[in-house]
Structure 1
Amino acid sequence: MLRQYELIDRVLSYDPDADEALLNRAYVFSLAAHGSQKRASGDPYFSHPIEVAGILTDLHLDDETIATAILHDTVEDTVATQEQIEKTFGPSVARLVDGVTKLSKIEAQSDNERAAENLRKFLLAMSDDIRVLLVKLADRLHNMRTLHHIAKPEKRRRIARETMDIYAPLAERIGMYEFMKEMQTIAFKELEPEAYDSINKRLEQMRKGGGDQVARIASGLRLLLGQKGIKAEVEGREKHPYSIWRKMTERHISFEQLSDVMAFRVIVDDVEQCYRALGLLHQRWPMVPGRFKDYISTPKRNGYRSLHTAVIHTERVRIEIQIRDRKMHAEAEFGVAAHWSYKAGGTIQPDVNARWIQDLVEILDHAASPEELLEHTRMAMYQDRIFAFTPQGELIQLPKGATPIDFAYAVHTDLGDQTVGAKINGRVVPLRTPIQNGDQVQILRSKAQEPQPSWMNFAATGKARAKIRRYVRNKEQAEMVALGRRFYDAVVARLPAQLAPDALDQAVKRLKLPDSDRLMEEIARGNLTDQQVMEALMPGSAGELAMRPRLPDPRAISMKGLTPGVAFTLAPCCTPVPGDRIVGVRHPDAPVVVHVIECPVLQAAPEEDWVDLAWGDGSEGGVARLQVIVRNQPGALGVMAGILGTQHANIVNLTLSQRDESFHTFDVLIEVQDVGHLMRILAALRAAEAVASAERTEPKAPLVA
């Protein structure tokens, strides 16, 4: 464990103006607060915050951050209070300590809820001051270094999984790659011990078989560059076990098939020599196509800069090479900490683009559940990146597999909401088209557009998915309230007497709901029956009604203004379209399902779940199912398609269901405006000589088990 004077000497060695008294007070306060507490290893608990502070001195962080590291567990694990911290060390240190303090476990919460709530509070604190993240990562790194002292295997695995899912990606996102690699290696050893041991054995065998191959190749690289007048430091290493295992699983290959196990780092004096070194290496050895990346001209989102390439070396191995200057190397070693500069008074300000942190904070505002929050944040933190450009040349970084929808939301939320189309490299493409590295993307927008639920099928970023989900969720809630109010009016019309002015408020109280909107939503979702609503509005009124058979309501409820797929869904068995006589079926916690009145599926639904519905003026069209039999002659299919096009009917699906010598039978799904439109289409098809018959397919009978 570091002694008090050793820790302070470390800080003064890189910051002679550091507040020595502050560090001394923090050391003494923490030592007294933790007292006789022990860690799982048997060491004094106080050794942990001191080692965390020691890790941060390697990053040359300021005195407030070092003091925070020393104090970070005092509020949670001792009798010390936040007020004491603020009084003794000032508001800045107190705020940092509060941001780093771990939350107490809440027994009533599930693991996901607890993890999500911890992540929520942590990300908010991190967005306010990045030093919170630096202390937390150092805290987690030291905990991982001592993970083997924890006796319970399930606890070790839980900590390792949390580290792999959250803290290692966070370290990578701020460029602290050494932190990331060490955390991943320890977590991998705990989570996949057999794979870890197997890869280490293979690496050991490779060393024995090839001698000191890494040193030989590094010496050759250094010699080549030196002969051309480039003074370079060359470091070589084998990739760490988790990186090797991840490539093996992603590529579905064995260790023997993995050709790029060795990586080398070339450090030169300036940017010009970076590119000179790259040219010399490519002249000497063949480059591996597709493996060159220029992170100097297009830095990563965390500020990382370097040239990456892979070559086929003379020793018949493929090696990866990173080329950077000394400033880039410092940034790669220390990540975001390398961007901090000391200012008067001991305060420091970040000089790094932390837009990705703001993206995570936006996700916090849009996640509806702990599972959703964890899903979106992991997506935002833990994905390989590609680079794309706006027409104005602005660089946008996205995960692999991102689409124009993700690009639009990365530029601005409003642009994402209003997206109607996209051009990639000048060509109009579907919104689900994956963006490739280096593409130029132009988003076509309309103020009349709204986010579409179907976008969830191909949105890849956590930010885009969170925005779409929130919009759809809010729209669904608003439409459920509107639909529930229509159901409510129908129930009120069946009451035996007029309601008192405060009847609705009293009903909300009797049903123990927060407000009338929630009541309407529960009605629409089928969580309250008509009898329950009547009884809550007018106690005793539902008794006689429950004894009578339910009769069709002459006042059918209009669906005007409601969106298919949100407040209600159109049954796929009978595909109703505007103009059909329809009935809705309510299911608990689900949208109303709309059927044609003749649909056989209705026979299986209890009549008390039926709702009499009407389309209402201006209802949007639907999808109709047709069976069209055409003559087996050249051009018959073209005739059918031409008629549908002339009638402005978009073909959704076309299937050849039966064929013989004389006729071909097609099952066709088409978009129509209403029943009248459908009848005109059928009449036009039947009038064509190439068409033998055209009929709307009857509703399908329910399957019988």
Structure 2
Amino acid sequence: MTAISIIESKSNKVELPRWLEECLLNQHSDHSDPDATLICRAFNFAYKLHEGQLRKSGEPYIAHPIAVASLLRNLGGDSVTIAAGFLHDVVEDTEVTPEEIEEMFGGQVRQLVEGVTKLSKFNFSSTTERQAENFRRMFLAMATDIRVIVVKLADRLHNMRTLDHLKPEKQRRISQETREIFAPLANRLGIGRFKWELEDLCFKYLEPDDYEEIKTLIAERRTDREARITQVTETLRSRLEQLKVNVIELEGRPKHLYGIYQKMQRQQKEFNQIYDIAAFRIIVETNEECYRALAVVHDAFKPIPGRFKDYIGLPKPNRYQSLHTTVVGLNGRPIEIQIRTLEMHQIAEYGIAAHWKYKETGTSNPELSSEDTKFTWLRQLLEWQKDLNDAQEYMECVKDNLFEDDVYVFTPDGDVISLAQGASPVDFAYRIHSEIGNHMKGARVNGRWSMLSKPLENGDIVEIVTQKNSRPSLDWLNFVVSPTARNRIRQWYKRSHRDENIIRGRDLLEKEMGKSGFEALLKSETMQAVARRCNYHSVEDLLAALGYGEITQNHVVNRWRDIVKEQQPIEEAEIISEEDVEISNYTSNNVRDKGKSPIIGVEGMLYHIAGCCKPLPGESIMGAVTLSSRGISIHTHGCHNVKKVPKERIIPVNWNTQGEAGKPFTYPVDIQIEAMDRVGVLKDILARLSDRGINVRNAGVKTGRNKPALISLSLDIRDRQQLEYIFQGIKSMSDTLHICRVINSGDR
């Protein structure tokens, strides 16, 4: 029984597209080719796995893979891509493994399916983290095979087309992600057909009232608009024929709805004040005829100064080529006209997918086969991926740099460099080479000295002036826009303050491990082994990393303990002393009044958390009976204040991790952060703490000229694990230089 008859025997029928029906009918014929066989096998396999599954609309789930595969086929996708379209959900929604996909359909199909598959079976601490990890994985897969994102775009387009059946809040969430990520990705890949439809569908769900209003207004003026389009088309066609320009296609059509809405917002105008809602396209045979057609257009209609762009001579990064001009048309209304060849038009419509079509027809075009400049933006994303560990910061970087159009500037030798909108000469310098940025003294733009913070514009010729003794300034972080430049400046600052960082790292480790024998410990083979296990070449490198917050002292101590246990298992002795213990003002009366104690072993007794070490759950603790009326003092094992406390005054205690009605206890913790001094850095840190549900008792900032900001925070923390989680989140911010826990000896 074939797949077609199986589908027709079900109550919920799925209508097959003609191309797939013909493929299935011919799969067992003597003339069936391997590509068609692969596509049919993928469909049959997907149909069997998705059997019984329904979409929110109530239709069989297999309708979605069929639609995705059809979109890919229309783009000119090969058999591997179309097969991946059928199979893109099977790993996520069924029990099939990637290994089984590879065994049945080959390594390329597996690679595409894995690249598209979401990470739904992994656990993340937040939605942002999940989203960031999905995109990290997708971009890595794209770097290996760009077809990954083409399959994903087809998947997202069909999901957007069928979004009506979801709840409004989910419609808005998916539409927002599509507008911020997938429509710009379609633009970056030059797939205009996908980009325009994705943007209009997002517009429909995110601004429904404006969408319906513009849609209605365009429909109401259709007759008048079509009359003007016909008149302009006839005028241009007549002029072009007179000069024997071979026109393949000449048409005018309304712009897509979201494009009109954007223009209204950008120019702060009402719909009736936007005249150029239609655009004309002239498609000719050769590059030379493009420029001849442009001359005809400018002769027939008066060009508007400053509204001409030559994307043939200077293509966009997504390989888009065309001539754009705006002229004054009939009744004084502006007209936008695009002029291109048929090959350019295919690339404008299908983008990266267009090379599949040309590959099949044997066209050899160096621009189409060159891999050096095609995906500069993707290589930048992968580079930023290494630099940005924080999920929220990474997502902001992706959105900013996908959405904005590039600025094209030139080196003095005439090489074209593409930069993000708002990029400065500093961004340009770091784009050329890190050392040029690090030793930058100034910049000449178009032959004149320029402010380093001034944004570059299209066509600027930029010359960077360097000096051996010049160095980056912290002020640059306030205006650079590329993550690469920001990260290189931060790295230089850390390296240049290596001695200070080593001293800070020594102090932190000494506080954690104690002064006794510390110098000998640093020179020991054990500490060398600790450095190597933490992926540093030397103990000094380890201390420097500890000093600027790349690694925590808790991590170092844990590695040291692991190595010591491996070398010679030892019993950890309790350190006791006779000295009386001075303590902090903090007690747990608020929870003890409820009949619950956060410390097991002191029930019914007066106790307090010692201010000298301020232990947290997750750290080994001991109780010391004080000679004052303060009761029992709770310390960490190894605290220097209990070295001489007699054994008879030491009592065993443990943490009670659950408070009243299962609510965890919290403890006050002071931390200090050194960060690049810029506007909003404290706000960003507090936002991250808020996202993680951390209560901030107090916050303060100290700043100095050309010095890092010193931020002091008092937090309510449940345990050591939560504190480490917070440290990792703040450390991953690009502005953070150092973070540490503060235990004020003045409290003792």
TM-score by length of 1: 0.70
1:3 paired residue among 8, 16, 20: 16
2-structure distance, mates of 1:577, 1:415: 21
In the alignment, what sits opposite 1:227? 242
Counterpart of 1:40 (choices 56, 62, 77) is 56
1:326-356: CA deviations, max 9, x gaps?
1111111110111235489xxxx96451121
User: Of 536, 539, 545, which aligns to 2:639?
Assistant: 539
Once residues 64 and 585 of structure 1 are traced to their aligned partners in structure 2, the CA distance between those partners, rounded to angstroms, is 54
Across the aligned residues of Structure 1 and Structure 2, the Cα RMSD in angstroms comes to: 4.3
CA 1:41 to 1:490, structure 2 compared with 1: closer, same or farther past 3 Å? closer
1:43–1:490 distance in 2 versus 1, CA, 3 Å:
closer
Partner residue in 1 for 2:658 = none
Matched, 1:237 2:253: yes
Aligned pairs for 1:449-528 within 5 A: 451-468=472-489, 482-486=503-507
Within-5 A mapping of 1:245-644: 245-340=261-356, 342=359, 351=370, 353-446=374-467, 451-468=472-489, 482-486=503-507, 531=613, 538-539=638-639, 541=641, 608=745
Pick the aligned partner of 1:92 from 89, 103, 108: 108
Q: Which runs of 5+ in 1 are unaligned?
A: 508-513, 546-561, 579-583, 592-604, 611-705
Q: 321-330 or 17-26, which moves further after superposition?
A: 17-26
Would the aligned equivalents of 1:265 and 1:322 in 2 still touch at CA under 8 Å? yes
Question: How far, CA to CA, are the matches of 2:451 and 2:643 in structure 1?
Answer: 57
| Superposition map of 1:141-156 within 5 A | 141-150=157-166, 152-156=167-171
SS at match of 1:439: coil
Contact 2:116 2:152 in 1 (8 A): yes
CA distance in 2, matches of 1:56, 1:523: 44
Partners of 1:292 and 1:309 within 8 A in 2:
yes
Q: Are the structure 2 counterparts of residues 369 and 217 from structure 1 closer, same or farther at C-alpha, using a change threshold of 3 Å?
A: same
Question: Matched residue of 1:61: which SS?
Answer: coil
Q: 1:609 to 1:405 in 2, by over 3 A?
A: farther
In structure 2, relative to structure 1, the CA distance for the partners of 1:489 and 1:313 (3 Å cut) is: same
TM-aligned CA deviation for residue 72 of structure 1 = 0.9
For residues 564 and 386 of structure 1, the distance between their equivalents in structure 2, rounded to whole angstroms, comes to 27
In 1: Cα distance, 2:241 partner to 2:217 partner: 33
- Post-superposition shift, 1:182? 0.1
Corresponding residue number in structure 1 for 2:191: 176
CA distance in 1, matches of 2:429, 2:550: 37
Aligned amino acid, residue 391 of structure 1:
P
Distance 1:458 1:57 in 2: 44
Q: Which residue of 2 aligns with 1:206?
A: 221
Question: How far, CA to CA, are the matches of 2:226 and 2:359 in structure 1?
Answer: 46
1:573–1:173 Cα change, 3 Å: closer
Q: Look up the SS of the partner of 1:305 in the other structure.
A: coil
Partner amino acid, structure 2, of 1:147: L
Amino acid at match of 1:334: Y
2: CA distance, partners of 1:281 / 1:39: 50
SS at match of 1:397: strand
- Contact 1:377–1:462 at 8 Å: present in 2 too? no
**Equivalent-residue separation in structure 2 for 1:355 and 1:577 (angstroms):** 34
Q: CA deviation at 1:388?
A: 0.9
Decide whether aligned partners of structure 1 residues 143 and 466 sit closer, same or farther in structure 2, where only a CA change above 3 A counts: farther
By how many angstroms is 1:218 displaced? 2.4
The answer (yes or no) to whether the contact 1:503–1:537 under 8 Å persists in 2 is no
Deviation at 1:459, TM superposition (A): 1.4
Distance in structure 1 (CA, Å) of the matches to 2:484 and 2:123: 30
1:459-479: CA deviations, max 9, x gaps? 123443454456667878995
Q: Which moved more, 1:160-169 or 1:255-264?
A: 255-264
1:520, 1:476 → 2: CA distance? Answer: 10
> 203, 209, 233: which one pairs with 1:194?
209
Letter of the aligned partner of 2:199 in structure 1?
Q
Secondary structure of the residue aligned to 1:66 is helix
The amino acid of 2:450's aligned partner reads: V
2:221 is paired with a residue whose SS is helix
- For 2:641, the aligned partner's letter is S
Cα deviation, 1:417-474, whole Å, max 9, x if unaligned, reads 4433211112222211221211111122356555443222111234434544566678
Structure 1 residues 564 and 166, CA gap change in structure 2 (3 angstroms): closer
On the 8 A contact 1:504/1:537 being kept in 2, the answer is: no
Q: Secondary structure at the match of 2:280?
A: strand
User: In terms of mean alpha carbon deviation, does 428-437 or 465-474 score higher?
Assistant: 465-474
Label 1:315 to 1:92 Cα distance change in 2 as closer, same or farther (>3 A): same
Deviation of residue 380 (structure 1)?
1.5
Structure 1 match to 2:572: none
% identical aligned pairs: 38
1:113 to 122, 129, 139: 129
* Separation in structure 1 between the aligned mates of residue 472 and residue 189 of structure 2, nearest angstrom: 31
The one-character-per-residue Cα deviations of 1:574-626 (angstroms, maximum 9, x if unpaired) are 96999xxxxx99656899xxxxxxxxxxxxx998579xxxxxxxxxxxxxxxx
Identify if the C-alpha distance between structure 1 residues 279 and 523 changes in structure 2 by more than 3 Å, giving closer, same or farther: closer
Q: Would the aligned equivalents of 1:238 and 1:263 in 2 still touch at CA under 8 Å? A: yes
How many angstroms does 1:360 deviate by? 0.9
User: Alignment partner of 1:315: what SS?
Assistant: helix
Deviation at 1:177, TM superposition (A): 0.8
- 1:454–1:215 CA distance, 2 compared to 1 (3 A): same
Report if the CA contact (8 A) 2:475-2:706 is conserved.
Answer: no
Give me the whole-angstrom Cα distance separating, in 2, the residues matched to 1:197 and 1:609.
66
Q: Secondary structure at the match of 1:212?
A: helix
Q: Please list the CA deviations of residues 653-689 of structure 1 after superposition, one character each: whole Å capped at 9, or x if unmatched.
A: xxxxxxxxxxxxxxxxxxxxxxxxxxxxxxxxxxxxx
Structure 1 463/498 Cα, relative in aligned 2: closer, same or farther at 3 Å?
Answer: closer
Q: Which amino acid in structure 2 is aligned with residue 311 of structure 1?
A: V
Q: For 2:706 and 2:112, locate their aligned partners in 1 and report how far apart those are by CA, in whole Å.
A: 60
Match of 1:626 in 2: none
Does the CA-based 8 Å contact 2:442-2:466 persist in structure 1?
yes
Alignment length (residue pairs): 560
1:435 partner SS: coil
Deviates more, 1:484-493 or 1:226-235: 484-493
Q: 1:130 and 2:130 equivalent?
A: no
Instruction: Give the match's secondary structure for 1:443.
Output: strand
Aligned match of 2:597: none
Superposition TM-score, scaled by structure 2 size: 0.66
What's the CA shift for 1:255?
Answer: 2.0
Question: How many Å apart are 1:363 and its aligned residue?
Answer: 1.0
Query: Distance between the aligned counterparts of 1:474 and 1:205, measured in 2?
Result: 65
In structure 1, distance between residues paired with 2:128 and 2:19: 41
Which residue of the other structure, out of 233, 237, 242, is the alignment partner of 1:218?
Answer: 233
Task: Return closer, same or farther for 1:522/1:262 CA change in 2, 3 Å cut-off.
Answer: closer
Go from structure 1 to structure 2 and tell me whether the alpha carbon gap of 1:261 and 1:67 turns closer, same or farther (over 3 Å shift): same
The separation in 2 between residues aligned to 1:378 and 1:523, in whole angstroms, is 26
Q: Is the 8 A contact 1:2 1:50 kept in 2?
A: no
